[in-house]
Amino acid sequence: MALSIGRVVLALCALILAACSPDGAQAPADFYRGKTIQVLIGMSPGGAYDVYARMLARHMGKHIPGNPRLVPSNMEGAGSLTLTNYLYNVAPKDGTVIGTINRGAPFEPLIGEPELARFDPALFTWIGSIANEVSICAAWDRAGVDNFEQLFTRELTVGGTGSGADTNQFPKVMNGVLGTKLKIVSGYPGGNNIDLAMERGEVDGRCGWSWSSIVSTRKAWLESGTIKVLVQLALEKHPDLPDVPLIMDYAKTDEQRAMLRLIFSRAALGCPFLAPPGMPADRAAILRKAFDDTMKDPEFLADAAQALLEVAPVGGEELQALIADIYRTPKDVVEKTRAIVMRGT
């Protein structure tokens, strides 16, 4: 009888402790069951970031204990700095909000406008990236620019979204490091808006355009010759583009190579997903595992294949290490690159 009473007492103590425990001590399934996870998208509807995020939201919930519902919505602005600042400073840190941002945003405190970037990229909870991206520079056929070498003597007007975005920084660095003649028209809410601006004739090109995004959303433009791919903006070529030159091939000095590497290493960030800093460690681990499991989910992969979206995932811990490595770039290289990026802003 005493043993039975003892067990009852122990059980009651366990219940009391569970009731008094902080939110972070809840079992994963208990916390997420019946919950909604916001999936915030830092770019405008219709582009690759938006398509990737909505596809992830359809599948990731079943890989999270408790099977929460994931609801995507857009919070575009300033090359996704609006969302990046929100995630860092405002969003709940309990694992109920994640987001995807322009892969250039984490570089903003380093080589952009730190007063606009109110965050430390190393402190975010990096969840993973769906793809290790290769970006390109493309020209509309009416511009009469058929190859990259022409950009050293002929001006091409390209669209940009915001100071920290690829579409702004990539052309500036090509101009400042290599001497191309790209003119940037900035302020578009997202990449899809730049595409529409090309159609309307407001701009004649786009630099810092994900190859996978083109294949999935603008393949008809490629097949018709409406756009011409001029150069690959990454550290390594994409298998689809063996005959398109790589930007790194145009560097003539070690310093130029270091500056180009600082900018174009962001390709590995691809389409990154992250959560606010200071999340409970167990929930960060749950979200990372759920992301990794989703990347192997046959239904997710079938959706991606149907949408012509590339899936080449990078894990959250790898992203965390990549960000740390980027911020170890020698100061003189950072300062020279930053001077170029900030020119004309």
Kindly report the CATH number assigned to the domain that includes residue 195: 3.40.190.10
Q: Are residues 282 and 260 in the same domain?
A: no
Which among 214, 240, 266 is the end of a domain?
Answer: 266
pLDDT at residue 20, as a whole number: 43
Domain-located, residue 254:
yes
Q: Are residues 112 and 154 in the same domain?
A: no
Q: Are residues 291 and 175 in the same domain?
A: no
Question: How would DSSP label each residue in 276-337?
Answer: -TT--HHHHHHHHHHHHHHHT-HHHHHHHHHTT-----EEHHHHHHHHHHHTTS-HHHHHHH
The owner of tokens 């398509």 is: 51
Residue 37, pLDDT > 80, answer: yes
Percentage of residues in the chain having pLDDT higher than 70: 91
Q: For 215-234, what is the mean pLDDT?
A: 94
Domain-located, residue 16:
no
Domain-located, residue 148:
yes
pTM of the model: 0.75
Residue 211, pLDDT > 80, answer: yes
Whole-number average pLDDT of the chain: 89
pLDDT at residue 19, as a whole number: 42
Q: Are residues 158 and 191 in the same domain?
A: yes
Residue 322, pLDDT > 80, answer: yes
Residue 70, pLDDT > 50, answer: yes
Can you tell me whether residue 228 is helix, strand or coil?
A: strand
Residues 6+ apart with CB under 8 A from 153: 181
Q: Are residues 232 and 207 in the same domain?
A: yes
Tens-digit pLDDT profile for residues 277-320 = 999 999 999 999 999 999 999 999 999 999 888 898 999 999 99
pLDDT at residue 212, as a whole number: 84
125-129 and 272-275: which strand pairing? antiparallel
Phi, psi torsion values for 73, nearest 5 degrees: -155, 155
Rg, Å, the chain Cα set: 22
Q: Are residues 250 and 104 in the same domain?
A: no
Confidence of residue 344 (pLDDT cuts 50, 70, 90): low
Q: Are residues 243 and 145 in the same domain?
A: yes
Domain residues for 237?
Answer: 135-266
pLDDT at residue 161, as a whole number: 87
Domain-located, residue 20:
no
How many structural domains is the chain composed of? 2
Q: Are residues 160 and 197 in the same domain?
A: yes
CATH of the domain at 89: 3.40.190.150
Q: Are residues 77 and 35 in the same domain?
A: yes
Question: What letter would DSSP give residue 246?
Answer: B
Q: For 81-101, what is the mean pLDDT?
A: 97
Which among 266, 292, 310 is the end of a domain?
Answer: 266
pLDDT at residue 259, as a whole number: 94
